[in-house]
């Protein structure tokens, strides 16, 4: 998560002046991350859209746009359209165990 934070354009390169300023920045970041940032792991919907069941309608609208475009100009399409399905589950580090003890030698 820190990498996502520090690559935001508004992340202060000189660090935060106070703990309160850091907390305020993180609250704004969290709001953006959950309501404004379209996540690739969620097929480019926001976590809020996914958790409030808006994502299904968004995916349906996207599929309709592609199907309409395909019907208008079928020669433009050489294969299938994008996969507009939503993942059943998402994790931050796929392939890594959630249990830190399981990774110990």
The residue to which tokens 């660090």 are assigned: 15
Instruction: Delimit the domains of the chain by residue range.
Output: 17-75
Q: How confident is the model at residue 2 (pLDDT cuts 50, 70, 90)?
A: confident
**Predicted model pTM:** 0.70
- The 10s digit of each residue's pLDDT in 9-54 is 889 989 999 999 999 999 999 999 999 999 988 999 999 999 998 9
**DSSP tag of 45:** B
Q: In 10 A of CB 87, how many CB atoms?
A: 11
As a whole number of Å, the end-to-end CA separation of the chain is 25
Q: Where residue 6 falls among pLDDT bands split at 50, 70, 90?
A: confident
What digits encode the pLDDT tens for the residues 77-93?
A: 888 878 888 888 877 66
């Amino acid at each position: 998560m820190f990498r996502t934070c520090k690559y935001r354009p508004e992340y202060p390169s000189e660090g935060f002046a106070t703990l309160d300023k850091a907390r305020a920045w993180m609250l704004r970041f969290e709001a953006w991350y959950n309501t404004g940032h379209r996540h690739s792991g969620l097929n480019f919907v926001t976590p809020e859209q996914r958790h409030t069941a808006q994502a299904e309608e968004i995916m349906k609208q996207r599929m309709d746009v592609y199907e309409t475009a395909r019907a208008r100009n079928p020669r433009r399409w050489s294969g299938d359209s994008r996969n507009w399905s939503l993942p059943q589950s998402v994790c931050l580090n796929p392939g890594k165990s959630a249990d830190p003890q399981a990774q110990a030698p």
